[in-house]
Amino acid sequence: MPYLIRRVSVSFWVLLLGMCFFVSSIHAQRYVKGPIFPDPSEEVYGVAAGGKMYVLGGLAPAWKPKGFVYEYDPAIQQWNKKKSMALASHHVALVEMNGKIYVFGGFNLPESGPPAWVPLNNAWEYDPVADSWKALAPLPTKRGSPVAVASGGKIYVIGGASVHPGSSATAIRPDLPHRSLGTVEEYDPKTNTWRERSSMPTPRNHAAVGEVNGKIYVIGGRLGAAFIGVASNTDLVEEYNPSTDQWGTARARMITPRSAAAWGVYNGRIYVAGGEFQNSQLMAAFRAVEAYEPATNTWSALPQMPVPRHGLAGGMIGSHLHLVSGTIQSSGIVGMHIDSDSNDILELEAK
């Protein structure tokens, strides 16, 4: 009987310890609501700099870019409107480096004719402290919806969508021929110069990206075209080594194939949130939040966003992933357009 009591006692404490760990894990990954976003919109782009969150862009009906810039200060839980983008454009790539925010490419409207997406080669540096914009050497390849990531003191602008090479077209639409790109161009902020690097094996746009331990990971996105109604989402994850200019073997696939998601990097993991999908039966936005760990080449699912969204802004401040605004349905639903003012903050670790 004493042996039985000891065995039950040990089992009880093991169970209790496991429950405590489970509760701790739940607490360490929870959402809190931040102040609502002042200008709900689709196609917003986020980045953290200096302990604050910056949300740029916005897209109005008829593909008119809003070009706003908002700053969120978590210390006082307040949004402040800043100086607008130097060139109002949408589907830009942006990245933070040494306290500055760099913005590349994107699309804007044609000077005349029906609405369309005109690929851009503009490059800008935004100084959050001075609230000022500076033009940089232009991106060598005009494109929209690429991704940008910093590594080793350089910035890499990867993928995107544009017109076909040799085409006389100057803009893209769902009904016009265009393509995804595998283009990789490296920008050196110290010299304000560009150089071409090895192309990505799988051309894509609307992807997510992150840098972990000197390697760059391009995640998901769209194949074939820039518009979700005529493109195909992918779950592919590809690894690029900037120091050797080589692409590695394909990595573990995403749990949920999607495009137009938000992302952030923390503690050796790349977090991907939201996104959209379409086929002939379904037009949807995702709540899914999933984390990729390059060290183990594995994915894990996290608590889902309270509101499904695509075209949302993401940024990591400490261990908090900020997920701001976006649209709660997939694009192209006639007579329906619902932008979210949500500012959901996923706490990855307990305070």
CATH of the domain at 236: 2.120.10.80
State mean pLDDT over 77-89.
Answer: 98
Q: Is residue 241 packed enough to be buried (19+ CB in 10 Å), middle (13-18) or exposed (0-12)?
A: middle
Half-sphere exposure of 149 (CA within 13 A, CB side): 27
Same-domain status, 17 and 47 = no
Are 15 and 152 members of one domain? no
17 and 38 in a single domain? The answer is: no
CB 147 within 8 A of CB 205: no
Start-end of H helices in the chain: 2-28
pLDDT of 145 higher than 80? yes
28 pLDDT tier (thresholds 50, 70, 90): low
Please check whether residues 64 and 26 belong to one and the same domain.
no
Question: Which residue type does 120 have?
Answer: L
Q: Examine the domain organization and report whether 84 and 21 are in the same domain.
A: no
Whether 18 shows a pLDDT value over 50: the answer reads no
Instruction: For residues 138-165, give the mean pLDDT.
Output: 98
Range of the domain at 259: 34-347
Q: How far apart are CA 6 and CA 96, in angstroms?
A: 57
| One domain for residues 21 and 121 | no
> Are 181 and 159 a contacting pair, CB within 8 Å?
yes
Task: Identify whether residues 28 and 43 lie together within a single domain.
Answer: no
Residues 146 and 232 in one domain: yes
Q: Which pair of tokens denotes residue 240? A: 């690029």
Site of tokens 């080669």: 121
Looking at the fold, whether 134 and 219 belong to one and the same domain comes out as: yes
Q: In the structure encoding, which two tokens stand for residue 215, read together?
A: 């390697």
Counting the structural domains of the chain, the total is: 2
CA distance 335 to 125: 37
C-alpha Rg value of the chain to the nearest Å:
21
pLDDT at 351 (0 to 100) = 58
> Do residue 77 and residue 104 come from a single domain?
yes
Whether 4 and 119 share a structural domain: no
pLDDT reading at 102 higher than 60 = yes
| DSSP bridge partners of 102 | 95, 125
User: Are 237 and 252 a contacting pair, CB within 8 Å?
Assistant: yes
Q: Which DSSP letter does residue 140 get?
A: S
**Bridge partner residues of 278 (DSSP):** 283
Residue 165 has pLDDT above 50, yes or no: yes
Residue 170: predicted pLDDT: 96
pLDDT given for residue 21 in this prediction: 37
DSSP letters along 235-283, please?
--EEEEETTTTEE----PPPSS--BS-EEEEETTEEEEE--EEE-SS-E
Same domain (yes/no): 100, 69: yes
pLDDT tens column, 232-286 = 999 999 999 999 999 999 999 999 999 999 999 999 999 999 999 998 888 899 9
